């Protein structure tokens, strides 16, 4: 079969022949793949720099961690696989397969789950978002940030505030459900003042953060308590695009009712992951099929994988390989 294969650690995936997968136990099932998205996770794992692969001895590997395709009975399904997904045939655990509703194409089905996981799991389990609360999404102009705006609204947020650097992209967020946008290009003092004003008028209940770094330092400083009782804010780290570390004053933790947690691989319980597969992803699929959740994709053919591996995808679209 044809697949996108990394032959050397850190190498570019190549369009190549690869042995077809085999079922090794009764919990596995073959899937004829039609689409698989390429994410930061897949690029990091292919490079050998992701924390889940740094200690592994590299062998020729098919890239990809999830995809969409047809089961042997002809039904459409989304699936996870630890054995690679950007290939004509893949094998998946039967417990990690999600039906795709009618009206949802393979490209969107392949692109959507990873984009919604961090925000949906963070909102439901890390913050336990309540109907009518206010959510601030830091770094909302990227693919996952744009999805997070829509997920927050689907989960009942009354008010969504979005930050970002791209002015044009920021303006477009109103169409996705954002109620207010704040530019990260503001001077530090102006950004902090804006957050303080918002927090005083409509207390921020939840912060979903995709970029970490300096903007989170400013945001935490802006909502810092003054010794009186403070409004509780739950901050969830979903990404770290602008830096992996911050300086955090212990006074912020002592003087502010703040909860800081993360939403990503390794932070979810087995039961939470089961709910992701059985409830959350099906809910998001149906919302997309109904036109209530939107994601843009850039579709490419499997045979072009080597050429487009370092390709800059325009307009913040999700790269999807069609097979």
All structural domains of the chain with their residue ranges? 2-100+293-322, 116-262
Average pLDDT over residues 291-296: 95
* The two domains 2-100+293-322 and 116-262 share their CATH topology (first three levels equal): yes
Q: What is the rounded average pLDDT of the residues 268-281?
A: 96
Q: Mean pLDDT check: name the lowest of 159-168, 238-247, 300-309.
A: 238-247
**pLDDT the model gives residue 49:** 62
pLDDT of 45 reads 73
pLDDT digits (tens, 9 = 90+) for 23-69: 989 999 999 999 999 987 788 777 766 565 556 666 899 999 999 99
What's the rounded mean pLDDT across residues 75-90?
96
At 189 the pLDDT is 97
Rounded average pLDDT over 95-118: 96
pLDDT band at 252 (very low <50, low <70, confident <90, very high): very high
CATH of 2-100+293-322, one of 3.90.1170.50, 3.40.50.10860, 3.90.180.10, 3.40.50.2300: 3.90.180.10
Q: Which residues contact 55 (CB under 8 A, 6 or more apart)?
A: none
* Pairwise pLDDT comparison (229 vs 291), residue with the higher score: 291
Span of 210-224, 273-287, 305-319 with lowest mean pLDDT: 305-319
- SS3 for the chain is CEEEEECCCCCCCEEEECCCCCCCCCCEEEEEEEEEEECHHHHHHHHCCCCCCCCCCCCCEECCCEEEEEECCCCEEEEECCCCCCECEEEEEHHHEEECCCCCCHHHHHHHHHHHHHHHHHHHHHCCCCCCCEEEEECCCCHHHHHHHHHHHHCCCCEEEEEECCHHHHHHHHHHCCCEEEECCCCHHHHHHHHHHHHHHCCCCEEEECCCHHHHHHHHHHCCCCCCCCCCEEEEECCCCCCCCCCCCHHHHHHCCEEEEECCCCCCCHHHHHHHHHHHHHHHHHHHHCCCCCCCEEEEEHHHHHHHCCCCCHHHCEEEEEC
pLDDT for 311 equals 80
Residue whose entry in the numeric block shows the structure tokens 């990227």? 142
Provide the pLDDT for residue 111.
Answer: 97
Per-residue confidence (pLDDT) for residue 57, from 0 to 100: 66
180-183/159-164 β-pairing: parallel
- Residue 206 has a pLDDT of 98
Q: What is the pLDDT of residue 54?
A: 55
Between 9 and 162, the higher pLDDT residue:
162
Alpha carbon separation from 82 to 16, 44, 154, 182 (Å, rounded): 19, 15, 30, 39
Q: Note the pLDDT of residue 27.
A: 92
Report the DSSP beta bridge partners of residue 163. Answer: 138, 182
Mean pLDDT over residues 68-96, rounded?
95
Helical axes 106-121 vs 281-289, angle rounded to 10°: 130
Q: Are strands 14-17 and 61-62 parallel, antiparallel or unpaired?
A: unpaired
Instruction: Supply 138's token pair.
Output: 């830091």
Give residue 242's pLDDT band: very low, low, confident or very high (50, 70, 90).
confident
**Of 162, 168, 119, 167, which is closest to residue 144 (Cα–Cα)?**
119
Q: How far apart are CA 99 and CA 81, in angstroms?
A: 15
Q: What is the pLDDT of residue 42?
A: 83
Which region among 94-98, 220-224, 231-235, 243-247 has the lowest average model confidence (pLDDT)? 243-247
Kindly report the average pLDDT of the chain as a whole number: 93
Decide: 318 and 146 in contact? Cβ < 8 Å.
no
pLDDT bin (cut points 50, 70, 90) of residue 146 is: very high
CATH 3.30.70.141 fits 116-262, yes or no: no
- 47-61, 87-101, 141-155, 230-244: least confidently modelled range: 47-61
Q: Which pLDDT belongs to residue 243? A: 84
Task: Render pLDDT for 182-225 as a digit per residue (tens, 0 to 9).
Answer: 999 999 999 999 999 999 999 999 999 999 999 999 999 999 98
């Amino acid at each position: 079969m044809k697949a996108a294969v990394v032959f050397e650690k850190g190498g570019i995936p190549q369009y190549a022949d690869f042995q077809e997968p085999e079922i090794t136990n009764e919990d596995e099932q073959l899937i004829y793949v039609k689409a698989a998205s390429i994410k930061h996770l897949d690029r990091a794992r292919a490079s050998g720099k992701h924390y889940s692969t740094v200690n592994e001895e590299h062998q020729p590997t098919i890239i990809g961690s999830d995809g969409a395709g047809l089961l042997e009975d002809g039904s459409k399904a989304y699936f996870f696989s630890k054995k690679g997904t950007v290939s004509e045939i893949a094998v998946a655990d039967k417990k990690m397969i999600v039906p795709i509703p009618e009206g949802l194409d393979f490209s969107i089905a392949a692109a959507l789950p990873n984009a919604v996981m961090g925000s949906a799991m963070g909102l439901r389990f890390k913050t336990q978002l309540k109907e009518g609360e206010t959510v601030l999404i830091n770094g909302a102009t990227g693919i996952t940030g744009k999805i997070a705006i829509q997920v927050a609204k689907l989960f009942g947020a009354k008010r969504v505030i979005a930050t970002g650097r791209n002015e044009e992209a920021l303006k477009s967020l109103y169409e996705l459900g954002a109620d207010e946008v704040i530019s990260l290009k503001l001077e530090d003092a102006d950004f902090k003042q804006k957050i303080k004003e918002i927090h005083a008028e409509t207390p921020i209940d939840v912060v979903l953060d995709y970029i970490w770094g300096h903007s989170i330092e400013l945001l935490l400083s802006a909502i810092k308590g003054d010794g009186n009782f403070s409004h509780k804010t739950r901050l969830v780290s979903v990404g770290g695009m602008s830096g992996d570390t911050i300086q955090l004053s212990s006074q912020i933790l002592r003087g502010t009712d703040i909860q800081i947690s993360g939403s990503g691989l390794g932070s979810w319980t087995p039961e939470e992951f089961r709910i992701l597969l059985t409830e959350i992803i099906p809910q998001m699929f149906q919302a997309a099929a109904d036109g209530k959740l939107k994601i843009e994709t850039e579709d490419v053919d499997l045979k072009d994988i080597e050429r487009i591996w370092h390709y800059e995808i325009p307009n913040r679209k999700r790269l999807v390989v069609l097979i």
